[in-house]
Every structure is written in C-alpha cells, then in structure tokens.
Amino acid sequence: MTHATPESVDVQLGERSYRILIARGLLDSAGDRLRELFPAGKCAIITDSNVGPLYANRVAGALSNAGYTPTVVTVPAGEKSKCMEQVESACDQMIAAGLDRKAFVVALGGGVVGDLAGFVAAVYYRGIPYVQLPTTIISQVDSSVGGKTGVNAAGGKNLIGSFHQPRLVLADVATLETLPAREYNEGFAEVIKHAIIRDAQLFDDTGHADRANLSHMIARNVAIKARIVAADEHETTGERALLNFGHTVGHGIEAAAGYGRYLHGEAISLGIVAASLLSMRKAGLPQQDHDRILERLHQFHLPVKLPADIATESILAALKTDKKFAQGKIRFVLSSGIGSAFLSDAVTLPDITEAIEALR
C-alpha cells in the first residue's frame, strides 16, 4: 500500500528536538522509523483496553519486524487510569519483562495513555526515552507534543508529573476512523482553544472540518503548539500558559464532576465558555466573538451549560489546587478577540464564581 508523504513539524528544543509526522498508515512504519532512533532491544507498548485490541498487535508486529522485543502493557480505558497505581503496575510489568535502562516506551493511545506512558518513561530507571503514537484528536493536536507527562492525584488533576519530551511523534490519522462520535467531537475543544489563542483562520476553517481529511488541520494545530513549546518549554515566560485557555475552570469542572463523567474535551468546552465570558468582561472580547465560540462548540455537540448537581463550591475547591494558582493568585488566560490571548492577573475568585454561575 502506498501512502502520501507525511506532513512534518519539528519541535525545536536544541538537543531535545524531535519530529512529529502526520499521515495515514504511520503505525505500520513505526518499526523502521524507530530504527533511526533506537538499536534493537526491548520496549514496552503502553496502551489501553479500547486501543490495544484495535492496534497493539499491528504496532507490536511492526516493531518485531524491525528487531525489537515489545511487551504490551494495557491499562483500563479512561481518565481514572491516569493514576499512580497504574504507573506502578506498568513499571512492575516492565521489570518482569526484563526492560532495563536501554529500553524505551511506546505510548499507543489517547491523551490518558500518552500522559501516563510518558510519565512511566520519565521515572523508569530514572528516565528512559519514549515515543508517542497518538490515536485521538486531542492527543494528535495537543497532548503528544510538548513533553508534559503525569497523572492525577486525589487532590487534583495532573499534580504529579514531569517534563519529559518524546523522541518522535507518529500521528496516524487513519486511527481516528475508529474513534466513537463523542470522542471525536471532544477533540475539537483543544482545536478551538488553539484557534482562539493563535489563529482566527483556523477558527473559521474548523467550521468545515472534514473527518475524512484531517491531516492538514492536525498539522496546523501541531505547528501552533510546537512554536509555543519551543518558545517556553517549561512554562516560565507565560507564553506556554496561553495553552491553558479554558483549562482553569475546565479542570475544576472535570475534577468536581468526578473523573469519567465528562471527557476531558467536554469539561474544557465548559471552561472555554467561562473564559470567553470573562474575556468579554475583562478583555473586551466582542459579544460577536463570544457567540461564534459558543456556536462552534455547539457544532461539535460540546457542552456549554453546567448541570445543577455540580456545585460551584466543589469546582472552586478543585480549582484552588490547580497549578495555575500561584501563591493564591490566579494567572488567567483571556482573549481580546478570536486569534489572540494574553495572561492576566485581573481575574479574581469572585469573577470566576460569577462566570461559573453564568454557565447554568
């Protein structure tokens, strides 16, 4: 079978630079592409209970043909697997399979698998390399790029983690064909986020996204993220923090609702609505842009109304443990118009409370 030349984006991080390839059929070429990075030896394919049955055999076959000895580690599908128990279990299985510091990890799945497997790679034998084979829209446009790895703690989302950049990202867009409609739609929350903070044209183009032809849209998103990560790898200058648009309230809702009720992108959709309301009040976002944002979220069947049983107090409690709170101060991302965003310290807890109430 012949495949089109992959779209390619580089993340420029000096000696930690890496390439992201986007095309159909990349899973089958994974073995050959990895041979350019790693000598033959052992590796772990970390996947979940939905993705494993669909793709793990193909990836394991491609790696075996290239001279590797893969061990497949499967976690239950869903956000609840982003936890320390699964980190320990994966490490135990890798130790039992004889993987040492020369081994590497292959993350095969969505953002949950990518964040978990990346963290396993960051801590196993004090750090081994890994590659990302993302299989959801969220993971292809966002989470597989940038090296934020980690798991949730009882006290909050993504509170245990590490920056650990992958060595390669292979986004096989053909895998998106097996994504259920809900998981397909949730991915557009992060696409809409990228468009709001950086690319008004992408916002318009997302209005007619073609499920059969997503490579270019994914590459545009990856290019946005790659540039931001290259400029502010460890989120110290404020530039990378722009990627948190919608995430302060979104993470609070995701945790308060209980992991598993909302998909990540669905919670972020609600967070985007709250951030957009606050942007109208504090940053002059035109009402027309706010309406277009709601319309676009609606187009992907993403939630824009918060149910009554998720209490504002629970969201605020979850939000206070968020990493974006620095010594009790909130660094909130606002937009003054679709296509641009900035970090503000003018948003108070009462402002956020009001925005959450306005979601009802």
DSSP-derived 3-state class of residue 3:
coil
Residue 264 interacts with, from ligand NAD, ligand GLY, none (CB under 5-8 Å by kind): ligand NAD
Residue of 83, 243, 267, 356 that binds ligand GLY (CB under 6 A): 243
Q: Is there a contact between 125 and 100 (Cβ–Cβ < 8 Å)?
A: yes
Residue located via tokens 């239950």: 76
User: How far apart are CB 145 and ligand GLY at their closest, in Å?
Assistant: 7
β-bridge partners, 73: 46
Listed ranges 27-35, 171-179, 200-208, 212-220: which one lies at the site for ligand NAD (CB under 6 A): 171-179
Q: In the chain, what are the helix, strand and coil shares in percent, each to the nearest 5?
A: 50, 20, 30
- 211 counts as catalytic: no
Query: What's the DSSP call for residue 190?
Result: H
88 is annotated as an active-site residue: no
Q: Site for ligand NAD (CB under 6 A): which residue of 6, 109, 166, 271? A: 109
Cβ-in-10-Å burial (0-12, 13-18, 19+) of 213 comes to exposed
* 240 included as an active-site residue: yes
Residue 282 a catalytic site member:
no
Longest dimension (CA), the chain: 59
Helix, strand or coil, per DSSP, at residue 37: coil
Task: Pick the piece of the chain touching ligand GLY (CB under 6 A) from 12-20, 33-41, 141-149, 320-328.
Answer: 141-149
Q: Which stretch binds ligand GLY (CB under 6 A): 93-101, 107-115, 140-148, 257-265?
A: 140-148
Question: Is 247 in the active site?
Answer: yes
Is residue 82 close enough to count as binding ligand NAD by CB under 6 A?
yes
E strands along the chain, which residues? 7-11, 18-23, 42-48, 69-75, 104-109, 130-134, 148-153, 156-163, 168-172, 325-326, 329-330, 332-337, 340-344
Catalytic residue among 82, 148, 167, 220: 148
Q: Please, what is the minimum distance in Å from the beta carbon of residue 148 to ligand NAD? A: 4
Which of helix, strand or coil describes residue 68?
Answer: coil
According to CB under 6 A, which residues from 248 to 267 bind ligand NAD? 263-265
Count of residues in contact with ligand NAD, rule CB under 6 A: 32
138 makes contact with ligand NAD (CB under 6 A):
yes
Distances (CA, A) of 239 to 170, 212, 289, 305: 25, 33, 22, 29
Name the residue number minimizing CB distance to ligand GLY. 243
Given candidates 131, 179, 219, 306, which one binds ligand NAD under the rule CB under 6 A? 179
Catalytic residues: 126, 148, 190, 225, 235, 240, 244, 247, 251, 264
Q: Which residues here bind ligand NAD, judged by CB under 6 A?
A: 48, 50-51, 54, 77-79, 82, 109-113, 115, 135-136, 138-139, 142-143, 146, 148, 158, 175, 178-179, 183, 186, 190, 263-265
